[in-house]
Structure 1
């Protein structure tokens, strides 16, 4: 049974993408949580299109979560409730960028959520130990964090430290580093999108991933949390 969060004022799901008339049954949902600025959308928009192309025939749909007057975390929780209302008991992957990445990680405890993908999550500074980000809600979920090593907006070391704490609570946690890329993950967007699609489809449908993701999930810290994203990733996925 889904949790029933209070309605998020002004929050709504963006127009559905995927599972058109040729796919009568929705089998999984990706909820896309954008960043703070419309001028710096990051890879969420192209990722949404890529997810539908790759998974639409299998019943995957994608919705952008518009948070309205509520926080992104509250809106993500509300959106997961909406997925249950609209589609029933289907797996949900929260996909967030920037502050949306932080919201995705924090909202992972919703019972409908089975996976979380956080792209360049905006987190407190690594040195802030007074109120560390929670990780217990990630237990039982598949978790992937992706961060550019040259991110000047959100310290990549913060996401590494969060991933290290999360790994203790949940072995199904991995993190990829995109060397020389910045906060928008533009320089290697094709590889980032390919990695994200591989992870989401594996988490939602098959439980199988490409070899790099499988290795990252299996590797002990810090290896599986500082996995370099190879140039050209995605050209021979699952090959």
Structure 2
């Protein structure tokens, strides 16, 4: 199973935007199609509110609730938390849940204040972690996800990060390649399929090579259709 966590806002107690939820539906459909022979299911999580709200970290708490609910409904199945933007931070934060098998973070929104406590990473040990970030992301600084990946890689070998050159926060310009990379990671992490060569190389490479891996144009063409 994949639980997809939408983007959001730093501060807001308003109801979640239906648009951010809808933006992840095509990815959910593409992932279930790519892993249809494995029996993969995907659900987009609906938050209680659209804001992270500092120490409350509402999306992370909602992600943990969603994992518990998935276990209650489906049993102890392999599960990946996958998020975009603020949802990526929620996936990383909640990734230590004992029922989470893998974590996928797309264009993660991370604190830019140098005086803020660093985002925790030790709880991710034992789970494959993939970060993907567009180099032209004007909303969430790519360098911040690189620094987090650096810290995670020091204590957890199964961490890698891909850079999508010329792409922005929404990762629209190379959507097909990003989707194929996500599918390849999830099929490998949850079902034991061999990773595509670029992904296997990124996981095996020492930093910074495996943390600044360029996503090649045309990646995963055999997975489409």
SS of residue paired to 1:116: strand
Q: Counterpart of 1:9?
A: none
Number of the residue aligned with 2:26: 46
Contact kept in structure 1, 2:21 and 2:46, CA below 8 Å: no
CA offsets 1:35-71 (integer angstroms, 9 cap, x no match) = 1155466963221111111223322111111111481
How many residue pairs match? The answer is: 208
Matches within 5 A, 1:175-186: 175-186=161-172
Task: Say yes or no: does 1:90 pair with 2:68.
Answer: no
Relative distance call for 1:35 and 1:92 in structure 2 (3 A) is same
Q: Equivalences for 1:59-138 in 2 at 5 Å? A: 59-69=39-49, 71-125=58-112, 128-138=114-124
**Runs of at least 4 residues off by over 3 Å:** 37-43
More strand, by proportion: 1
Kept after mapping to 2: 8 A contact 1:41/1:184 = no
Alpha-carbon distance between aligned partners in 2 of 1:43 and 1:196, rounded to the nearest angstrom? 15
Distance 1:40 1:77, change over 3 A: closer
State the partner residue of 1:148: 134
Residue from 31, 34, 39 that aligns with 2:6: 34
Separation in 1, partners of 2:128, 2:135? 23
SS of aligned partner of 1:183: coil
3-state SS of paired residue (1:118): strand
- TM-score norm. by structure 2 comes to 0.88
Match of 2:183 among 188, 193, 197: 197
Please, which runs of 5 or more residues in structure 2 have no aligned partner? 9-16, 50-56
1:58 is aligned, of 38, 42, 59, to 38
Q: Structure 1 residues 40 and 87, CA, compared in 2 at 3 Å: closer, same or farther?
A: closer
Deviations 1:191-219 (A, max 9, x none): 00010011011111015210000000000
User: Deviations 1:16-50 (Å, cap 9, x if unpaired)?
Assistant: xxxxxxxxxxxxx1000011155466963221111
Q: Which runs of 5+ in 1 are unaligned?
A: 1-28
